[in-house]
A and B are shown apart, each in its own frame.
Chain A
Amino acid sequence: MVAYALRSFAQAILVLLSVGLIAFSMFRFVGDPVANMVGQEASQADRRELAERLGLNDPFIVQFGRFVRDVAQGEFGISYRHGRKVSDLIVERLPATVELAALSALFATLAGIALGVYTAIRRDGWLAHFIMTTSLVGVSLPTFLIGIGLIYLFAVELRWLPSFGRGETVKIGWWTTGLLTPSGRASLIMPVVTLGFYQLTLIMRLVRAQMLETLRTDYVKFARARGLPEHRIHFKHALRNTLIPVVTIAGLQFGSVIAFAIVTESVFQWPGLGALFVQAVQFVDIPVMATYLLFVALVFVVVNLIVDLLYFALDPRLRSSRALATR
Chain B
Amino acid sequence: MLTGAKLLVSTLLAVSLLAGAADARTVKWARSGDSLTLDPHAQNEGPTHALAHHIYEPLIIRDNQGKPLPALAESWEITSDPTVWEFKLRRGVKFHDGTPFTVDDVIFSYQRALQPTSDMKSLLSSIEELIRVDDYTLQIKTKGPNPLLPANLTDLFIMSKAWAEKHNATKVQDFKNKEENYAVRHANGTGPFVLVSREPDVKTVMKRNENYWGKSQVPLEITELVYVPIKSDATRIAALLSGEVDFVQDVPVQDIERLQSDQNLRVVVGPENRAIFLGMNVGDPELETSNIEGKNPFAEKGVRHAINMAINRQAIQRVVMRGQSIPTGIIAPPGVNGYTKEIDVIPPNDIEKAKALMAEAGYADGFSVTLHCPNDRYVNDEAICQAVVGQLAQIGIEANLVSQSKSLHFPTLQKNEADFYLLGWGVPTFDSHYIFTYLYHTKTDKEGGWNGTRYSNPKIDEMTASLTEETDLNKRNEIIAEMWKILQDETIYIPIHIQTLAYAMKPDLEIPVDISNQPKLKFVKIKPSKDE
- Chain A positions near chain B (C-beta within 8 angstroms): 30-47, 49, 53-54, 75, 77-78, 80-85, 88, 144, 148, 151-152, 155-156, 158-160, 162-166, 266-269, 271, 275-276, 278-279, 282-284
Contact = CB atoms under 8 A, between A and B. Distances in A.
A282 B376 contact: yes
22 contacts: A30-B408, A35-B407, A38-B44, A41-B122, A46-B121, A46-B122, A83-B36, A83-B39, A83-B42, A83-B180, A84-B184, A84-B200, A85-B179, A144-B232, A148-B234, A152-B238, A155-B244, A159-B9, A160-B5, A268-B235, A271-B202, A279-B231
Contact of A43 (B229, B234, B449): B449
Given A40-B44, A42-B44, A54-B175, A82 B37 contact: yes
B120 A39 contact: yes
Given A82-B200, A85-B178, A45 B242 contact: no
Contacts of A156: 238, 241-242
Contact of B123 (A33, A35, A41, A77): A41
A62 B396 CA distance: 47
A32 B199 contact: no
Given A83-B181, A269-B231, A42 B407 contact: no
A130 B470 CA distance: 79
Contacts of A77: 178
Nearest to A82: B200
Contact of B244 (A37, A163, A275): A163
Given A31-B408, A33-B407, A275-B231, A42 B119 contact: yes
Contacts of A271: 199, 201-202
Q: Is the interface of B mostly helix, strand, loop or mixed?
A: loop
Most buried by A among B9, B181, B406: B406
A163 B201 contact: no
Contacts of A151: 234-235, 238
Contacts of A81: 36
B339 interface: no
Contacts of A162: 242, 244
A57 to B, nearest CB: 13
A276 B180 contact: no
A96 to B, nearest CB: 9
Contact of B202 (A49, A165, A283): A165
B201 A279 contact: yes
Interface in B251-310: none
B242 A155 contact: yes
Contacts of A88: 180
Contacts of B405: 30-31, 282
Contact of A44 (B120, B201, B449): B449
A269 B203 CA distance: 11
Query: Which 9 A-B residue pairs are closest in the complex by CB-CB distance?
Result: A39-B44, A31-B407, A41-B122, A32-B411, A45-B445, A31-B408, A83-B173, A35-B410, A155-B242
A102 B112 CA distance: 46
Contacts of B5: 158, 160
Interface string B419-446: 0000000100000000000100001111
Contact of A78 (B121, B178, B450): B178
Interface residues of B, number: 62
B43 interface: yes
A144 to B, nearest CB: 8
B217 interface: no
B39 A148 contact: no
A2 B445 CA distance: 61
Contacts of B123: 41
Contacts of A42: 44, 119, 122, 449
Contacts of B200: 82, 84
B385 interface: no
B82 to A, nearest CB: 23
B70 interface: no
Nearest to A34: B411
Given A47-B449, A266-B231, A269-B230, 8 more contacts: A31-B408, A32-B407, A34-B411, A39-B43, A44-B414, A45-B445, A151-B234, A266-B232
B149 interface: no
A23 to B, nearest CB: 16
Contacts of B67: none
A30 B407 contact: yes
B228 A165 contact: yes
B434 to A, nearest CB: 9
B239 interface: yes
Contacts of A54: 175-176
Contacts of A34: 411
Contacts of B234: 148, 151, 267
B39 A267 contact: no
B45 interface: yes
Contacts of A159: 9, 12, 242-243
Nearest to A36: B407
Contacts of A282: 376, 405, 407
Interface centre among A32, A46, A88, A269 (most CB of B within 10 A): A269
Nearest to A93: B201
Interface string B154-182: 00000000000000000001011111110
